[in-house]
Amino acid sequence: MRPSTRVRTSFTIYSASHETSAAAIDSRPAASCPRHVPFPELRTSPPWTRTTEGPGRPPNPFCFQALASALPDRQAKTPPPAAVKPAPVPVPARKKVLAKKGAAAAMGGSKDAGKQEDVHRLRILDNCYMQYRFLNAHAEAAAIAKKDVAEKTIYGLSERIANMQKYVAQKKAELECLKRMEKVHFVVDSQANTGEVKLALNSAMEIMKQLSPCVDKLSRKIYLLGLIDYLAMKVGETEDVASELSNVVSDEQVLLQECADLLHQAHDIQAMEDSLKSQVMQLTKNKT
């Protein structure tokens, strides 16, 4: 018994890769080919419900789920397979060739779809990896910026703390100095009468004011006496220098007299030498 046209229509809609082979098989009328029997496994089960897509290739659940979600009504309208399969009838060679071509086309389409799906998944993974790298780099840059800001703030706080420590140490030293001054004043006030000390100081100041003109005169006299002593010292020094000069002059006169004597002696020696030379010349002439 030949299956209805509804099953063939659903087959051609479900699998675009088997459309050519199915149309070629079903295009001829039943009268021209009384032994025409379609493939029940291709007509009764849609492509996404089969266990294999070809020899040695596993199913592709992603493509099957997409097709199932896109065509739910067609899958629901598909009639259940026949309970009893007809006896195998030999199919003509032309129909076998067309069926093989359709199966090869379906296998090639499924392979291309699987490759495209793998490429798409690889692209998605690559995009995810790049996003993760970008997020990690962004987080690292943000962490470095936060670290720099924290280091700057810590450095500023350390400088402020150091300045505060110096200021506190200075104030502590001033406080210690004031405490010691207070102790000194307390000891002095307890041992001496401030009124008597003030009177003594006032009287001393008045005496100094009264003696100030005398002090000025005395200071002038002292200054003049100092100048006189200085001049006397200079006069003594000049006398010493003058005596030394007189000694030097007398020494020079003695030396000049000695030089004159030596010059006379040299003149006499020169005259004697000239006379000797003349005598030698006469002797040499007499010998010749």
**Residue-range domain boundaries for the chain:** 5-116
User: If pLDDT is split at 50, 70 and 90, which confidence band does 107 have?
Assistant: low
Q: Quick check: 90 and 137 in contact, CB under 8 A? A: no
Calculate the alpha carbon distances from 5 to 43, 82, 214, 249 in Å: 10, 15, 154, 164
Structure tokens at 262: 């030596």
Task: Look up residue 31 and give its DSSP letter.
Answer: T
Tell the residue number behind the tokens 């290739």, with chain if given.
57
User: What CA–CA distance (Å, rounded) separates 146 from 2?
Assistant: 78
Q: Is the CB of residue 114 less than 8 Å from the CB of residue 60?
A: yes
The reported pLDDT for the residue numbered 117 is 87
- The closest of 114, 14, 116, 121 to 57, measured between CA atoms, is 114
63/96: higher pLDDT? 96
- Report whether 50 contacts 107 (CB < 8 A): no
Q: Which two tokens stand for residue 286?
A: 């007499």
**Structure tokens, 191:** 């041992």
Can you read off the two tokens belonging to residue 245?
A: 């000069």
The pLDDT value given to residue 35: 44
56-89 pLDDT, tens digit each:
444 444 444 544 444 444 444 444 544 444 555 5
The confidence score (pLDDT) of residue 15 equals 39
pLDDT at residue 114, rounded to an integer: 77
* Average pLDDT estimate for 122-150: 93
Q: Which pLDDT does position 97 carry in this prediction? A: 54
Residue that has been written with the tokens 């659940």 in this structure:
61
Q: With a cut of 70, say whether residue 42 has pLDDT above it.
A: no
What are the angstrom distances between the C-alpha of 92 and each of 11, 25, 59, 98, 105? 22, 11, 30, 10, 20
pLDDT at 127: 92
What is this structure's pTM?
A: 0.26
SS3 227: helix
The rounded distance, in Å, linking the Cα atoms of 78 and 44 is 7
The pLDDT assigned to 93 comes to 55
* Residues 12, 19 contacting (CB under 8 angstroms): yes
What does the pLDDT read at residue 169?
94
Nearest to 43 by CA among 70, 66, 22: 22
Contact (Cβ atoms closer than 8 angstroms) between residue 54 and residue 103: yes
HSE of 152 in the Cβ direction (CA atoms, 13 Å)? 6
Where would I find the H helices in the chain? 5-14, 19-26, 40-44, 61-70, 72-77, 93-191, 194-287
* HSE-CB for 42 with a 13 A CA cutoff: 25
Closest CA to 74 of 116, 46, 42, 35: 46
Q: Could you give the angle at the alpha carbon of 219 between the alpha carbons of 216 and 221, nearest 5°?
A: 110
